Amino acid sequence: MSSGETSFKIHTLYSDHHGWLQSWLRRRVGHAGDAADLAHDTFLRIILTGRTPEADQSRAHLTQVAKGLVIDLHRRRLVEAAYMDALAHLPQAQAPSAEQRALVIEELLLVDRVLGALPAKVREVFLLSQLDGLTYSQIAQTMGISFAAVRKYMLRATHLLHAEMQASDGVNGL
């Protein structure tokens, strides 16, 4: 398909369904501004992926993409709220700047995304180690797995997190 044909398909998709999508999103998120942002992001994602749906699948495709973005928005807000709650317990002098808060939230979202992609056992081992402070032996006993499995799962989780952080730094450092 030529770029002219793709542009025409995107234009048609947008003009035929933007209003409907924005209304659909407004009912889901309850805020017109968020709905407008999510509708914009939905079309942007379709443009960036280059996967324009056939005319008879337009609304189903838009809905699928938009649902993912709504989930991302809710997850982001949960992470932001948890972080802001943690900051509320700090003395004012230790509170990070707005820029520092934004950077930390982006890193937390990256960690959340990576952990969400891990198999359940790997994620549980990582969280027991990093959040609960359990030793590998304690994790092995708690989960009924071998010490070697705990070590393997931790290596897998930390390797993936490190790789994603490196990739993120590469993108952000451009």
Cβ(83)–Cβ(101) under 8 Å? Answer: yes
Q: How confident is the model at residue 90 (pLDDT cuts 50, 70, 90)?
A: confident
Higher-pLDDT residue of 4 and 58 is 58
Q: CA 25 → CA 5, 29, 152, distances in Å?
A: 28, 6, 42
Task: Write down all domains in the chain, each with its CATH number in brackets.
Answer: 3-83 (no CATH), 96-172 (1.10.10.10)
pLDDT digits (tens, 9 = 90+) for 17-68: 999 999 999 999 999 999 999 999 999 999 898 888 888 999 999 999 999 9
Q: Given the structure tokens 């309850």, which residue do they identify?
A: 30
Q: How confident is the model at residue 174 (pLDDT cuts 50, 70, 90)?
A: very low
Question: Which among 150, 146, 144, 148 is positioned nearest to 125, based on CA atoms?
Answer: 150
Tell me the pTM.
0.68
On the question of pLDDT at 168 being above 80, the answer is no
Kind plus residue range of the DSSP H or E element containing 8:
helix 3-29
pLDDT digits (tens, 9 = 90+) for 111-160: 888 888 899 999 999 999 999 999 999 999 999 999 999 999 999 999 99
On the question of pLDDT at 79 being above 80, the answer is yes
